[in-house]
């Protein structure tokens, strides 16, 4: 994905997301109760289209960041970017 690595809190189940592949793997292995939330559904769609263009990759990164922030999983230094 198009930005610096995203640091997540331990309760998320991961500690760093560095690429679209990391984001995809993270989302696929989440509990179904999280996957069904609207913000993760938007992130899923964006991540699945990340390889289409640079704009799609940026959209995926932002969608994933927004979904992680909605769960309260972003580290403090990363959440204000």
Q: Where are the domains of the chain?
A: 19-72
CA of residue 53 relative to chain centroid, distance: 17
Mean pLDDT for all residues in the chain: 87
* pLDDT score of 51 more than 50: yes
Percent of the chain with pLDDT over 90: 52
28 Cβ contact partners less than 8 Å away, ≥ 6 residues apart? none
Give residue 75's pLDDT band: very low, low, confident or very high (50, 70, 90): confident
Provide the β-strand partners of residue 16. Answer: 7
pLDDT in tens, 30-50: 999 999 999 999 999 999 998
pLDDT computed for residue 41 by the predictor: 96
* pLDDT score of 81 more than 50: no
Rounded to the nearest 5 percent, the helix, strand and coil shares of the chain are 60, 5, 30
Task: State the pTM of this model.
Answer: 0.83
Phi, psi of 7 (to 5 degrees): -95, 130
Is 19 in a helix, a strand, or coil?
Answer: coil
């Amino acid at each position: 994905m198009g930005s610096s690595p995203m640091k997540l809190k331990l309760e998320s189940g991961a500690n760093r997301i560095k690429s679209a592949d990391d984001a995809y793997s993270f989302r696929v292995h989440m509990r179904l109760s999280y996957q069904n939330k609207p913000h993760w559904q938007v992130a899923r769609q964006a991540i699945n289209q990340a390889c289409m263009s640079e704009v799609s990759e940026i959209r995926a990164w932002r969608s994933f960041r927004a979904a992680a922030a909605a769960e309260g999983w972003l580290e403090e230094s990363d959440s204000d970017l």
